Structure 1
Amino acid sequence: MFGTSLHWTTFFYLLIDILIVLLTLYFSKKRVRTSFKRFLILGLLFITYNLTGGLLPYDSFPGPLILQYIITYGVAMTLCVFIIYYLYKEYDIVVLKFNSSIRNLAIFTTSSYIILFLVPYFLTNSLILARLLFTIPISVAIIIFLFIFYNRISNPRNANAFILRRNKLSMISVGCIALLPICTAIGDYQWFTFSVMNMAFFAITAIEIDRYLFFIENNTRMYEVFAFQKKQRDSTVQRKIIYEDLTRREIEVALSILSNLSYKNIAKDLSIAESTVSKHASNIFKKTGVKNRREFLKRFRKRKQIK
Structure 2
Amino acid sequence: MFGTSIHWTTFFYLLLDIVIVLFAFYQSQKLNRNSLKRYLYLGILFIFYNASGGFLPSNAIPGPIIIQYIITYGVSITLCVYIVYYLYKEYDFVVLAFSSSIRNLAIVAFGGFIALYLIPYLFTTSLNTARLLYTVPISIVAFIFLGIFYKRISHPKNPNLFIVRRNKLSIISVTAIALLPICTVIGDYQWITFTVMNIAFYAISIIEVDRHLFFLENKSKLYEVFLSNKRKIEEINESEVINGNLTRRETEIAVSILSKLSYKSIAEELYIAESTVSKHASNIFKKTGVKNRSEFLKRFLRKNK
TM-score normalised by length of structure 2: 0.92
Moved more, 148-157 or 284-293: 148-157
Contact 2:263 2:277 in 1 (8 A): yes
State the Cα deviation string for residues 90-126 of structure 1 (Å, max 9, x = none): 2325671477611111111111111111111121121
Structure 1 distance, partners of 2:164, 2:6, is 37
The alignment yields a C-alpha RMSD, in angstroms, of 1.8
2:75 equivalent in structure 1: 75
Q: Distance in 2 between matches of 1:34 and 1:142?
A: 31
Alignment match, 1:253: 253
Partner of 1:163: 163
Distance 1:99 1:273 in 2: 13
After superposition, the C-alpha distances for 1:210-244 in whole angstroms (9 at most, x for unaligned) are: 1011101111111121222222778xxxxxxxxx7
The separation in 1 between residues aligned to 2:99 and 2:304, in whole angstroms, is: 45
Indicate whether 1:51 and 2:51 are aligned.
Answer: yes
User: For residues 124-139 of structure 1, what are the structure 2 equivalents within 5 Å?
Assistant: 124-139=124-139
Offset, 1:65: 1.0
**Helix, strand or coil at the partner of 2:66:** helix
Asked if structure 1 preserves the Cα contact closer than 8 Å seen for 2:170 and 2:204, the reply is yes
**Separation in structure 2 between the aligned mates of residue 81 and residue 282 of structure 1, nearest angstrom:** 30
Task: Report the AA paired with residue 162 of structure 2.
Answer: F
C-alpha separation in 2, matches of 1:213 and 1:88: 21
Paired position in structure 1 for 2:286: 286
Change in 2 beyond 3 A, CA 1:173/1:58: same
Query: What TM-score comes out, normalization by structure 1 length?
Result: 0.92
* Structure-1 residue corresponding to 2:271: 271
Q: In structure 1, what is the Cα distance between the partners aligned to 2:111 and 2:292?
A: 48
Cα shift at 1:153: 2.4
Runs of at least 4 residues off by over 6 Å:
none
Post-superposition offset of 1:60? 0.8
Other-structure match for 1:86:
86
CA distance in 2, matches of 1:108, 1:149: 17
Unpaired runs of 5+ in structure 2? 235-243
Distance in 2 (alpha carbons) for counterparts of 1:303 and 1:159: 28
* Correspondence 1:149-228 to 2 at 5 A: 149-228=149-228
Would the aligned equivalents of 1:117 and 1:131 in 2 still touch at CA under 8 Å?
yes
Equivalent position SS for 1:230:
coil
Between the aligned partners of 1:101 and 1:270, the Cα distance in structure 2 is: 20
Q: What fraction of aligned residue pairs are identical, expressed as a percent?
A: 67
- 1 CA distance for matches of 2:78 and 2:125? 25
- Report the Cα offset of residue 268 of structure 1: 1.1
The one-letter code sitting in structure 2 at the alignment partner of 1:267 is A
Whole-Å separation in 1 of the counterparts to 2:99 and 2:136: 21
1:27 counterpart letter in structure 2:
Q
Matched with 2:112 is 112
The answer for the alignment partner of 1:140 in structure 2 is: 140
2:296 maps to a residue whose letter is: F
The runs of 5 or more residues in structure 1 that have no matched partner are 235-243
Partner of 2:18: 18
Q: Distance in 2 between matches of 1:31 and 1:303?
A: 25
Moved more, 271-280 or 130-139: 271-280
The letter for the 2-side match of 1:182 is I
Rounded Cα–Cα distance in structure 1 between residues aligned with 2:120 and 2:44: 31
| Separation (CA, whole Å) in 2 of partners of 1:76 and 1:224 | 44
Alignment-mate amino acid for residue 164 of structure 2: L
Deviates more, 1:11-20 or 1:276-285: 276-285
How far apart are the structure 2 equivalents of 1:284 and 1:159?
A: 24
Indicate how the Cα distance of structure 1 residues 184 and 99 shifts in structure 2: closer, same or farther if over 3 A, else same. farther
Between 1:128-137 and 1:150-159, the stretch displaced more is 150-159
1:37-86 Cα shifts (integer Å, max 9, x gaps): 11111111100110110011111112111111111111100110111110
Q: What amino acid sits opposite 2:42 in the alignment?
A: L
Counterparts of 1:188 and 1:287 in 2: how far apart (Å)?
A: 51
Q: Deviations over 1:223-277 (max 9, x none)?
A: 121222222778xxxxxxxxx7011111111100111110001011111111111
Are the equivalent residues in 2 in contact too, given 1:159–1:270 (CA < 8 A)? no
Q: Give the total of aligned pairs.
A: 296
- Write out per-residue CA displacement over residues 119-171 of structure 1, whole angstroms, 9 at most, x where no aligned residue: 11121121111111110000000101111122332323224211111101110
Conserved in 2, the CA contact under 8 Å of 1:14 and 1:50? yes
Shift of 1:304: 4.4
Q: Which amino acid aligns with 2:218?
A: N
